[in-house]
Structure 1
């Protein structure tokens, strides 16, 4: 059975690694999900949730039962049980489950790279507190306590860019219309200055697509691609829509969005030109 590593420190990633390991073990001995459910007297949905990493809190008892069926013993079993305990740990985002309605922060926390295209709002990793407050209220959240929690949660996310060890790399492509809307805000100057400051960091690249180029291919929807240092971890594409949020991880889906991001980069201002553009916008705003 191939060894599987759980990349990063995120319990979300560890849970996905655990599920992948158990799925590989079942396939290696040639059992179907029906075979396993019959032996353990489980419902098909229980095993499905385990293998697709949809379980909320991984169970050591369930993993032990599966090890019995799959013939996993000794050190390998101990490693799986240890991984189960780690996957049950609560990440910082768990205390903000009223803010985040999906596991994206858990995946983002373990990502070594973040590539994002935004055409309406600034990337969440680059927003200052005042801007977060404005867009939160615009989304219909008006209670001051709720707004405060949204600000705190989103600022916590940004630590992946500034942590001393293993800071994530961010590449962001932003439509110029986003910058135009930022300039109109009372916090506009502070937000633009923050963008320029972040653009000088070695792990951050910003590119702006000027409106002068007209309609362009790939402008339809905002998206974020998360990459992981561990070659055993499959990358993720996150789509946020007005109806739901989707995490895509099929190879053809990943390839399509990677290609789309590369195309957007080619029509956007280069990182150096983008910094000059932001400096110019600050002069106009100031």
Structure 2
């Protein structure tokens, strides 16, 4: 059952691969979700959480019950149970469940490439502590301990760019408004210097869309595209809303945002011009 071996080491990716395989097995058996729930005496919500990869801790007993129902045994059953145990492992982001409202950090940990467009704030993977603290206070959080916790969580996320092996490639397109609206000169200088430093790394590309472009093709809500090294793993687009984070993974949705990102990077300053622009802002 090689097709269920999720690439990378993120439990979030493994959980997603497990759910996808269980859905495929049910469909191969020609069973509806209602039939499965009736046979196993499960509530519809339980099976839905399993098939939508929403379960917090994948349960080996539940997977074993599904294997028996679907006629999966031997090495294939063992592979699914092993994947279940791997999906139960605690990623570092689990200790920050009060900070992260979505599983984005888990997907980032397994991504080989990330493309993001931001027109309001600096991309989270590129923020310095001073900037994180500033936007946290703007969000209405004043307790020092809570600010530190959120800062620590954000900095932990950024380590995917600094890994010695399998470091993630990041391509960020940022509207110039994002930088100009940083009112604190000290914070602004530190943040721009950090962007310039990271832009020197081979796995980080930063482009700025200058104000002079006016209204430009691709303008609109912010988004992040995450691509994974395993060819069997479906790429996703992450949209952050006021209420929660939304994940898109249908091929036509992915294509739409990839085309939009291409338009944005075309209208932005190229990498060399962006680095020169950043350098001028801190002179």
Same fold (TM over 0.5): yes
Three-state SS of the structure 1 residue aligned to 2:3 is coil
Q: Residues of 1 paired with 2:2 and 2:161: CA distance? A: 32
8 A contact 1:182–1:191 mirrored in 2: no
For structure 2, which runs of at least 5 residues remain unmatched after alignment?
A: none
Report the counterpart of residue 66 of structure 1 in structure 2. 66
Say if 1:2 and 1:44 are closer, same or farther in 2 by CA, change over 3 A. Answer: farther
8 A contact 2:3–2:232 mirrored in 1: no
Report the counterpart of residue 17 of structure 2 in structure 1. 17
> Once superposed, what is the RMSD of the aligned Cα atoms?
1.2
Report the counterpart of residue 48 of structure 1 in structure 2. 48
8 A contact 2:101–2:244 mirrored in 1: no
8 A contact 2:217–2:267 mirrored in 1: no
What pairs up with 1:113-132 in 2 under 5 angstroms?
A: 113-132=113-132
Q: Residues of 2 paired with 1:141 and 1:5: CA distance? A: 41
Three-state SS of the structure 1 residue aligned to 2:185 is coil
Shift of 1:217: 2.4
Three-state SS of the structure 2 residue aligned to 1:201 is coil
Three-state SS of the structure 2 residue aligned to 1:186 is helix
Q: Which stretches of structure 1, 4 residues or longer, exceed 3 Å deviation after superposition?
A: 182-185
Report the counterpart of residue 207 of structure 1 in structure 2. 207
Deviates more, 1:162-171 or 1:211-220: 211-220
Deviates more, 1:184-193 or 1:64-73: 184-193
8 A contact 2:175–2:210 mirrored in 1: yes
TM-score, normalised via structure 1 length: 0.96
Question: Is residue 2:152 matched to residue 1:152?
Answer: yes
Over residues 181-227 of structure 1, what are the superposed CA-to-partner deviations in whole Å (9 max), with x where a residue is unaligned?
23643222121111101000000110000010111122211111111
Q: Residues of 2 paired with 1:281 and 1:185: CA distance? A: 11
For structure 1, which runs of at least 5 residues remain unmatched after alignment?
A: none
Report the counterpart of residue 247 of structure 1 in structure 2. 247
Shift of 1:47: 1.1
Number of corresponding residues: 283
TM-score, normalised via structure 2 length: 0.97
